[in-house]
Copies of this chain bind each other. A is one copy, B any other.
Amino acid sequence: MAQNDTVTRILDTAEVLFAERGFAETSLRHITSKARVNLAAVNYHFGSKKSLIQAVFARYLDPFTERFHTVLDDLEQRYAGEVIPLEVLLDNMARTVLEVPAERNSLKVFMRLLGLAYSQAQGHLRRYIQEHYGSVFSRFSSLVRQATPELPDAERFWRLHFVLGTVIFTLSGLDALRDIAEKDYGEHVSVRGLIDRLRPVVVAAMQAPLPPLETDNLSTAS
C-alpha cells in the first residue's frame, strides 16, 4: 500500500460522509470502516477529527484560491486599469468554482461542504477558513466594489451575502431539490444548467433598485 494511500482514502471517504450527514453526525468509525482503514489512522495522520475536517476543506480551497488569484491577475491585466464589469467577475468566479472539483469527486460535495461550514456550529472551521482564505474574498469584493460604484458600501456588502446565500443554499441542497424538480416538472437539471439559471437572477439581484431610505429607526425585534 503506497504511503499516502491511507490519507487519500480517508479524505475521499470523509468528504462524502461529511457532505451527506454533517460533521457531528459522522463518526470516525464510520469513516474508517467505509474507507477500509484502521480507526487509529485518522488520529495518526491528522491528529484529531477537527484537523481532518480542516484538511477536507483545504483540499478544495487551496487549489481554488490559487487558481482564482491567477484568474484575477489575468483579468486585471486584460482590463488594464479599466473597471472589470460585474458580470465578468461573477462569471469568472463561477467558472473557477466549477473547475476545481470537476477533476475530483463532485461539485455537489464541495458546495454541500461550504453550506455546512456556514450552518454548522464548528467555530474552529469558520476561523480556519477566514484565516486561510479571507484574503481572496477581500480581493474579490474589492473588485466588485469598483464594478458597482453606485451601491453604498453597506448595501453591496449585504447583497453579496444575499447572492452567496442563494448559491450555497441552492447548490448545497441540490439533491433534494433536483428530485422534486425532476418528479414535478420532468426535467433533468445539471449543475451547469442550474448555474445558467442562477446567472440572470444573481445579476438582477445585484442591480436591483436601492431600498427606500429608512426614516424611522425605532426597531424593536431583535
Question: Which residues of the partner chain B approach A193 to less than 8 Å between Cβ atoms?
Answer: 214, 219
Q: Known interface pairs A164-B169, A198-B162, A205-B205. Does A191 touch B153 (Cβ–Cβ under 8 Å)?
A: no
Q: Are the CB atoms of B219 and A196 closer together than 8 Å?
A: no
Question: Which residues of the partner chain B approach A21 to less than 8 Å between Cβ atoms?
Answer: 121
Which residue from B154, B177, B219 sits with its C-beta under 8 Å from A192?
A: B219
Does A98 sit within 8 A of B, measured CB to CB?
yes
Q: Are the CB atoms of A208 and B204 closer together than 8 Å?
A: yes
Interface residues of A (CB under 8 A from B): 20-22, 24-25, 98, 102, 106-108, 115-116, 118-121, 126, 153-155, 157-159, 161-170, 172-173, 176-177, 180-181, 184-185, 187, 189-194, 196-201, 203-205, 207-212, 214, 217, 219-222
Q: Are the CB atoms of A155 and B197 closer together than 8 Å?
A: yes
Which residue from B98, B119, B164, B192 sits with its C-beta under 8 Å from A119?
A: B119
Question: Which residues of the partner chain B approach A207 to less than 8 Å between Cβ atoms?
Answer: 204
Q: Known interface pairs A154-B181, A157-B181, A166-B165. Does A208 touch B219 (Cβ–Cβ under 8 Å)?
A: no
Question: Which residues of the partner chain B approach A107 to less than 8 Å between Cβ atoms?
Answer: 221-222
Question: Which residues of the partner chain B approach A159 to less than 8 Å between Cβ atoms?
Answer: 197, 201
Closest CB in chain B relative to A139 CB, distance in Å: 16
Q: Known interface pairs A116-B119, A210-B200. Does A221 touch B161 (Cβ–Cβ under 8 Å)?
A: no
Question: Which residues of the partner chain B approach A167 to less than 8 Å between Cβ atoms?
Answer: 165
Q: Are the CB atoms of A200 and B209 closer together than 8 Å?
A: yes
Q: Are the CB atoms of B212 and A196 closer together than 8 Å?
A: yes
Q: Are the CB atoms of A121 and B20 closer together than 8 Å?
A: yes
Closest CB in chain B relative to A218 CB, distance in Å: 9
Question: Which residues of the partner chain B approach A172 to less than 8 Å between Cβ atoms?
Answer: 119
Q: Are the CB atoms of A158 and B209 closer together than 8 Å?
A: no
Question: Which residues of the partner chain B approach A201 to less than 8 Å between Cβ atoms?
Answer: 159, 162, 205, 208
